[in-house]
């Protein structure tokens, strides 16, 4: 009713006149201006968005549209020289959760936790950590589940909405811990590594080589990731797979190592619970046949990431399993150094093969008495006898006569005191002391008495087992110092050889052939002679040249009177044995270093013997059968 | 019985008609792409919109079939009917998207707030054309138009659809300022608006409404959340570049990155697919239509005709501007469609009827025979 009255009133309002209408129409011009102004604003805004910043928005639109998923490439296999697979890959099944597909997450997790043998809170934690990331991205709940769990999850997938199985290649170690310290292991890329890495290749969560060959040869082994380009809508649902680039598997690396020899060496070292290193190398090429460091890491602990406890145990282990003792540890060389002293003596003309020194069991120099290891003395000693029976007194006198700087000079000619350049990380360089070195680093004048210690491989002298092997090979081949190498060939997935072994001579000692021969005669006597220090190493049908070494760990005489087994482990002498064979035409050099192994012959010799027996097995069997036929 | 004058056909505005047809054709074309893939809908939106266009043509023809001066009296029942529908919608209407209210008619879901906008234009035009004040309207004289505006404003605000309800305020202000006010009226109205605005922000706005306004101020901060729509809309338009990605090639729209892509954000699809060049052509025609509306107003034969034509332009112009500024990231997301372009039957029918009124004013710009005879 009120409304009707209200409209009535409006109806009564009087009509217009022409003048006012014209005034009103003039105001329309203002309206037109407003329209044009707003039109201009919108056009300018469009220009800014589409023309000025069009390229930026185009890129954003593209990123918006295409979701790129990287597909991990299978890592290159690692084989031994005979094609035995040492490291390959297998699929690892990981349990992942995709939140956008999940209904009733709480219940799903409650059901999932016992299956994965995890606590529900642990699973929730992982999901909370991923909050803020798009809901279509998988969250990894457990890695490398077993077949039983996999089968259970697949059969009951309706109970686990949003839970998926993701397949990822992981390493398989066919020979367990074989050469573990040399091959190394993999791990998730760290933030630091990621910061330095090429972003086109690496992204967070990638698995990369962390140590050893896996790290050094990362670029060969990793291959190229594949990519799946899929169009997704704003909610993250995949619309279609646009393009898929298959991953390019990593390159296959064939090593110079021989699995059989490596196994023999490791078995021997492990059986005796020996801590130390074994290196076997081809004398005329530098190909490494065996590189052992014991105790080694347990490679299985690293698959899928090592646990904190295991890592701590490795770090705390007094035998340092993380260190590759073949290259990453310096040791006093002990009597194995006597070949250097001999070569220096011969080279400097201080001695020849007929020179004889008398050994009463000690050598007096200055106001000190330097003992021979044999208290009763060796009597008259020539070079051959001095080497074969490791007479300290003989070498004290040679060392004293040539001086420490000449010892260092010849040591360096044989490859000591500098890195061998082997394809391994953190190689130690050893130490060949000189007078200048002492002045510079120890702030002291060289004492002549110290030369005597150096001459028998004690004192400041330090070598790595691989240096010792290179030195032995150099003695055996007559002066050619080769860089020890691990890689025979690198083959890409198409089968093309992209890299193949070439011997690399680092140094060649010329004009000393005769001296090398003399020293080798002594070394053969060490193994083959009746009074040699390594008679136990001798193998029937094979002539071996070698040298034992016993390196004092401490000088303290306190333990000297004790029986060997009563000396505390860490104060026991290191045992060295280095050798080559066959004596006539050397092929292989073997160096064994056993920490606190007491005696070179007994502590290190058997390992070398086992390696040589394995290396020459076929030939020895033939010889033996021929001999049997002849009889 | 309405007598058909020969001059009606002579004065039928072919230019206005051409602009309308061009905009409608481009809009329908665009909708085909914007609602792709069509399998997602029961009946594809472009098909439905096609039917609405046919209905719109009927509404247009109906709107030109009588002398617009009849609206002086038709205005009352029209006003009452729409308010009635708004009340119905408030109590029994369907809710969509948490705000707008619909009345489900079975074949068609009517959104009474759309014709309500036109209803207000006609009511105000009618009011202001009857009373003319040489030195402008005083505040007391404005009580009736304020009341006419406040009733639909409050009903729609309660739905709660803030964006649409503000349209009533904008229409009121535009038309009222157009007819001239006293200085004192400006001052009082201005301070009242400020006070009410502050009160509304503190007391009346729902949290999600505040959120929208805050998001608008910094949309990039939360690209997956409330700012998402604005960011995606800018990406869609911007990625179109100078010449666009080509018809049906717009990935933003087709991959659902763009929200409401066939309704409120339909123009973003056009911008993406046709680029700056295409947008310029489209907007050029669209704004020519509006300017032609002003031209129609200028040549109207009486005050009511001027106000009606101006009101129709106002109605379309402000909706278009708000919609475009929103799509281009200058305004928060408010549910205002781009007339003729956005999918939606209520809006389309209302706009076609409004354009019909514009044509009506144009066709009857000559002095009526009745007045000559009497």
What is residue B100's predicted lDDT score, i.e. its pLDDT?
Answer: 60
The answer to whether the beta carbons of residues A463 and A432 sit under 8 Å apart is: no
Q: Is A190 a catalytic residue?
A: no
Q: What is the DSSP string of B230-289?
A: HHHHHHHHHHTTTT-S-TT--HHHHTT-STTTTTTTHHHHHHHHHHHHHHHHHHHHHHHH
**Residue B157 in contact with partner chain A when CB distance is under 8 A:** no
Nearest to B131 among A13, A49, A134 (CB): A13
**Residue B276 in contact with partner chain A when CB distance is under 8 A:** yes
**Residue A238 in contact with partner chain B when CB distance is under 8 A:** no
Q: What is the DSSP string of A134-154?
A: -TTSEEEEESS--HHHHHHHH
- Contact state of A50 with B279 under an 8 Å Cβ cutoff: yes
CA distance A242 to chain B (A): 13
CA distance A5 to chain B (A): 11
Confidence of residue A576 (pLDDT cuts 50, 70, 90): very high
Rounded CA separation A545/A523 (Å): 5
- For the stretch A238-251, pLDDT in tens is 666 777 788 899 99
pLDDT: which is higher, A194 or A267: A267
Rounded CA separation B55/B263 (Å): 19
What is residue A101's predicted lDDT score, i.e. its pLDDT?
Answer: 72
A 8-67 residues inside an 8 A Cβ radius of B: 9-11, 13-17, 20-21, 24-25, 27-28, 31-32, 35-36, 38-39, 42-43, 45-47, 49-51, 53-58, 60-62, 64-65
Rounded CA separation B51/B56 (Å): 8
CA distance B272 to chain A (A): 9
pLDDT: which is higher, B139 or A407: A407
ipTM of the complex: 0.91
Of A345, A242, A329, residue with least CA distance to A294: A329
Rounded CA separation A318/A330 (Å): 16
How crowded is residue A527: how many other Cβ atoms within 10 Å of its Cβ?
Answer: 31
Of A277, A250, A264, A258, residue with least CA distance to A181: A277
Nearest to A21 among B80, B131, B306 (CB): B306
**Residue A499 in contact with partner chain B when CB distance is under 8 A:** no
CA distance A60 to chain B (A): 7
Please identify which residue in the block is written with the tokens 């001459």: A455
Three-state secondary structure along A434-477? CHHHHHHHCCCCCCHHHHHHHHCCCCCCEECHHHHHHHHHHHHH
What is residue A342's predicted lDDT score, i.e. its pLDDT?
Answer: 95
Q: What is the dihedral of CA B257, B259, B260, B264, to 10 degrees?
A: -110
Rounded CA separation A152/A165 (Å): 12
For residue A494, give the 3-state DSSP assignment: coil
Report which DSSP code applies to B12. -
Q: How many residues does chain A have?
A: 631
Residue B346 lies in a domain: yes
Q: How much is the average pLDDT of B73-87?
A: 92
* B126, closest residue in chain A (CA to CA): A10
Rounded CA separation A607/A43 (Å): 86
Query: Domain range spanning residue B220?
Result: 6-373
The answer to whether the beta carbons of residues A485 and A501 sit under 8 Å apart is: yes
Q: In what order do the strands lie in the sheet with B109-110?
A: B94-96, B100-104, B109-110
Cα separation values, A371 from A374, A378, A396, A562, A599, Å: 8, 12, 10, 18, 17
- Contact state of A235 with B80 under an 8 Å Cβ cutoff: no
Of B318, B328, B273, B257, residue with least CA distance to B293: B318
Task: Check pLDDT > 80 for residue A389.
Answer: yes
- For the stretch A280-301, pLDDT in tens is 999 999 999 999 998 888 888 8
Confidence of residue A187 (pLDDT cuts 50, 70, 90): confident
The active-site residue out of A293, A296, A335, A406 is A335
Query: Which H or E element spans position B120?
Result: helix B113-130
Confidence of residue B351 (pLDDT cuts 50, 70, 90): very high
- Contact state of A233 with B275 under an 8 Å Cβ cutoff: no
- For the stretch A437-491, pLDDT in tens is 999 988 889 988 899 999 999 889 999 999 999 999 999 999 999 999 999 999 9
Residues of A in contact with B251 (CB under 8 A): 61, 65, 231
- Contact state of B303 with A11 under an 8 Å Cβ cutoff: no
Please identify which residue in the block is written with the tokens 């690399």: A504
- For the stretch B197-232, pLDDT in tens is 888 777 767 776 676 666 655 555 554 445 667 888
Rounded CA separation A572/A562 (Å): 11
Q: How much is the average pLDDT of A16-27?
A: 75
Provide the mean pLDDT of chain A: 86
Residue A98, both tokens: 């995709």
Rounded CA separation A87/A38 (Å): 70
Task: Check pLDDT > 90 for residue A117.
Answer: no
Residue B102 bridge partners (DSSP)? B94
Q: Are strands B100-104 and A163-173 parallel, antiparallel or unpaired?
A: unpaired
pLDDT: which is higher, B37 or A400: A400
Residues of A in contact with B232 (CB under 8 A): 64, 234
Nearest to A35 among B235, B251, B290 (CB): B290
Three-state secondary structure along A353-372? CCCCEEECCEEEECCEEEEC
Residues of A in contact with B126 (CB under 8 A): 10
* B289, closest residue in chain A (CA to CA): A35
Rounded CA separation A507/A466 (Å): 16
Domain A89-173 in this protein, CATH class: alpha beta
What is residue A234's predicted lDDT score, i.e. its pLDDT?
Answer: 53
Counted domains in chain B: 1
- Number of H helices and E strands in chain A, helices first, is 22, 23
Q: Which residues of A573-605 are buried (b: 16+ CB within 10 A; e: fewer)?
A: bbbbbbbbbbbeebbbbbbbbbbbbbbbbbbbb
List of E strands, chain B:
94-96, 100-104, 109-110
What is residue A68's predicted lDDT score, i.e. its pLDDT?
Answer: 67
- Contact state of B238 with A49 under an 8 Å Cβ cutoff: yes
Q: How far is CA A329 from the centre of its chain?
A: 14
**Residue B330 in contact with partner chain A when CB distance is under 8 A:** yes
The answer to whether the beta carbons of residues A520 and A473 sit under 8 Å apart is: no
A 128-147 residues inside an 8 A Cβ radius of B: 134
What is residue B11's predicted lDDT score, i.e. its pLDDT?
Answer: 84
Q: Which of A189-203, A336-350, B104-118 has the lowest mean pLDDT?
A: A189-203
Please identify which residue in the block is written with the tokens 């330097």: A370
Confidence of residue A305 (pLDDT cuts 50, 70, 90): confident
Q: Which residues of B60-83 are buried (b: 16+ CB within 10 A; e: fewer)?
A: beebbeebbbebbeebbebbeebb
Cis peptide before B160 (omega within 30 of 0): yes
How crowded is residue A557: how many other Cβ atoms within 10 Å of its Cβ?
Answer: 7
pLDDT: which is higher, A158 or A565: A158
Size of interface A-B (CB pairs under 8 A): 154
Cβ-based burial of A119 (10 A; exposed 0-12, middle 13-18, buried ≥19):
exposed
The answer to whether the beta carbons of residues A522 and A381 sit under 8 Å apart is: no
**Residue B294 in contact with partner chain A when CB distance is under 8 A:** yes
Residues of chain B with pLDDT > 70: what percent?
84
How crowded is residue A571: how many other Cβ atoms within 10 Å of its Cβ?
Answer: 14
Q: How much is the average pLDDT of B81-89?
A: 91
Cis peptide before B37 (omega within 30 of 0): yes
B 25-64 residues inside an 8 A Cβ radius of A: none
Helix segments in B131-265, DSSP class H: 143-157, 162-178, 183-199, 207-217, 228-239, 251-254
pLDDT: which is higher, B288 or B99: B288
- For the stretch A310-349, pLDDT in tens is 888 888 888 888 899 999 999 999 999 999 999 999 999 9
Residues of B in contact with A239 (CB under 8 A): 255
**B206 Cβ contact partners less than 8 Å away, ≥ 6 residues apart:** B160
Report which DSSP code applies to A374. S
Backbone angles phi, psi at B194, to 5 degrees: -60, -45
Q: Are strands A288-294 and A207-209 parallel, antiparallel or unpaired?
A: unpaired
Residue B1 lies in a domain: no
Backbone angles phi, psi at A394, to 5 degrees: -55, -45
* A30, closest residue in chain B (CA to CA): B178
Confidence of residue A558 (pLDDT cuts 50, 70, 90): low
Cβ-based burial of A111 (10 A; exposed 0-12, middle 13-18, buried ≥19):
middle
**Residue B365 in contact with partner chain A when CB distance is under 8 A:** no
Query: Which H or E element spans position A14?
Result: none
Rounded CA separation A476/A589 (Å): 8
**Residue B308 in contact with partner chain A when CB distance is under 8 A:** no
Provide the mean pLDDT of chain B: 84
CA distance A502 to chain B (A): 55
- Contact state of B234 with A57 under an 8 Å Cβ cutoff: yes
């Amino acid at each position: 009713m009120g409304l009707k009255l209200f409209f009535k009133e409006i109806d009564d309002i009087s009509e217009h006149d022409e003048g006012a209408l014209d005034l009103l129409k003039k105001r329309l011009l203002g309206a037109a201006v407003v329209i044009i102004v707003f039109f201009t604003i919108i056009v300018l805004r469009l220009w800014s968005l589409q023309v000025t910043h069009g390229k930026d928005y185009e890129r954003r639109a593209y990123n918006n549209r295409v979701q790129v998923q990287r597909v991990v490439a299978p890592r290159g296999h690692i084989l031994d020289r005979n094609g035995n697979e040492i490291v390959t890959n297998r699929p690892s099944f990981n349990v992942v959760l995709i939140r956008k597909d999940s209904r009733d997450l709480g219940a799903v997790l409650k059901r999932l936790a016992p299956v994965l043998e995890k606590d529900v809170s642990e699973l929730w934690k992982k999901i909370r950590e991923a909050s803020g990331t798009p809901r279509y991205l998988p969250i990894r709940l457990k890695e490398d589940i077993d077949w039983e769990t996999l089968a259970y999850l697949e059969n009951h997938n309706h109970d686990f909405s949003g839970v998926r199985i993701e397949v990822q290649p992981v390493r398989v170690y066919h020979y367990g811990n074989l050469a573990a310290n040399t091959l190394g292991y993999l791990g998730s890329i760290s933030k630091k590594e990621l910061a330095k890495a090429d972003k086109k290749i690496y992204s967070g969560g990638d698995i990369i080589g962390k140590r050893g060959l896996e790290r050094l040869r990362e670029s060969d082994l990793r291959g190229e990731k594949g990519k799946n380009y899929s169009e997704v809508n704003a909610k993250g649902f995949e619309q279609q797979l646009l393009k898929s680039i298959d991953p390019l598997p990593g390159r296959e690396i064939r090593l110079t190592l021989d699995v059989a020899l490596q196994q023999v060496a490791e078995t021997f070292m492990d059986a005796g619970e020996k801590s130390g290193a074994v290196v076997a190398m081809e004398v005329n090429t530098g190909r490494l046949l065996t590189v052992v460091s014991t105790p080694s890491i347990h490679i299985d602990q690293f698959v899928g990431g090592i646990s904190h406890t295991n890592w701590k145990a490795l770090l705390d282990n007094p035998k340092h399993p993380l260190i590759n003792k073949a290259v990453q540890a310096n040791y006093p060389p002990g009597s194995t150094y006597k070949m250097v002293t001999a070569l220096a003596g011969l080279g400097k003309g201080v001695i020849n093969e007929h020179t004889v020194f008398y050994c009463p069991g000690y050598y007096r120099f200055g106001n000190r008495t330097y003992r021979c290891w044999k208290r009763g003395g060796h009597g008259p000693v020539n070079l051959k006898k001095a080497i074969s029976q490791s007479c300290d007194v003989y070498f004290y006198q040679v060392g004293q006569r040539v001086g420490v700087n000449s010892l260092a000079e010849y040591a360096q000619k044989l490859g000591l005191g500098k890195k061998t350049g082997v394809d391994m990380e953190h190689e130690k360089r050893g130490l060949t002391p000189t007078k200048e070195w002492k002045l510079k680093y120890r702030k002291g004048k060289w004492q002549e008495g110290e030369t005597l210690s150096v001459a028998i491989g004690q004192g400041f002298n330090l070598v790595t087992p691989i240096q010792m092997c290179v030195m032995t090979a150099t003695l055996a081949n007559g002066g050619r110092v080769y860089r020890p190498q691990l890689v025979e060939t690198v083959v890409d997935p198409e089968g093309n050889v992209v890299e193949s072994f070439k011997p690399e001579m680092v140094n060649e000692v010329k004009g000393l052939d005769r001296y090398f021969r003399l020293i080798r005669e002594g070394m053969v006597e060490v193994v083959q002679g009746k009074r040699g220090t390594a008679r136990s190493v001798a193998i029937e049908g094979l002539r071996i040249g070698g040298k034992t070494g016993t390196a004092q760990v401490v000088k303290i005489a306190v333990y000297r009177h004790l029986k060997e087994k009563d000396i505390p482990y860490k104060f026991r002498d290191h045992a060295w044995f280095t050798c080559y064979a066959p004596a006539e035409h050397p092929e292989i050099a073997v160096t064994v270093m056993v920490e606190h192994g007491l005696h070179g012959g007994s502590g290190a010799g058997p390992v070398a013997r086992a390696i040589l027996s394995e290396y020459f097995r076929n030939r020895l069997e033939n010889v033996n059968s021929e001999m049997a036929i002849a009889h | 019985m309405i007598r058909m004058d020969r001059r009606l056909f002579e004065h039928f505005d072919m230019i206005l008609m051409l602009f309308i047809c061009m905009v409608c054709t481009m809009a329908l074309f665009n909708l085909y792409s914007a609602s792709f893939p069509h399998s997602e809908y029961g009946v594809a939106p472009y098909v439905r919109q096609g039917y609405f266009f046919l209905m719109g043509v009927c509404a247009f023809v109906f709107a030109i079939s009588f002398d617009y001066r009849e609206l002086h009296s038709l205005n009352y029942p029209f006003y009452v009917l729409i308010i009635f529908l708004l009340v119905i919608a408030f109590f029994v209407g369907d809710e969509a998207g948490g705000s707008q209210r619909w009345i489900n008619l079975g074949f068609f879901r009517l959104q009474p707030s759309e014709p309500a906008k036109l209803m207000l234009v006609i009511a105000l035009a009618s009011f202001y054309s009857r009373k003319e004040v040489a030195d402008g309207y005083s505040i007391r004289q404005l009580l009736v138009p304020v009341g006419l505006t406040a009733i639909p404003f409050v009903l729609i605000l309660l739905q709660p659809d803030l964006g649409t309800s503000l349209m009533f305020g904008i229409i009121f202000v535009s038309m009222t300022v157009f007819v001239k006010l006293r200085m004192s009226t400006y001052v009082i109205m201005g301070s009242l608006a400020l006070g009410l605005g502050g009160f509304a922000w503190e007391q009346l706005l729902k949290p999600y409404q505040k959120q929208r306004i805050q998001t608008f101020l910094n949309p990039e901060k939360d690209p997956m959340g409330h700012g998402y729509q604005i960011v995606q809309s800018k990406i869609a338009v911007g990625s179109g570049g100078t010449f666009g990605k080509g018809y049906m090639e717009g990935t933003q729209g087709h991959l659902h990155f763009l929200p409401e892509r066939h309704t409120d954000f339909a123009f973003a699809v056009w911008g993406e697919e046709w680029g700056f060049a295409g947008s310029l052509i489209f907007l050029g025609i669209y704004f020519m239509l509006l300017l032609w509306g002003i031209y129609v107003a200028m040549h109207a034969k009486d005050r009511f005709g001027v106000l009606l034509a101006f009101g129709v332009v106002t109605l379309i112009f402000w909706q278009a501007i708000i919609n475009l500024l929103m799509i281009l990231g200058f305004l928060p997301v408010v549910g205002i469609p781009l007339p003729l372009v956005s999918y939606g039957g209520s809006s389309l029918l209302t706009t076609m009827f409004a354009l019909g009124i514009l044509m009506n004013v144009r066709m009857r710009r000559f002095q009526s025979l009745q007045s000559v005879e009497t």
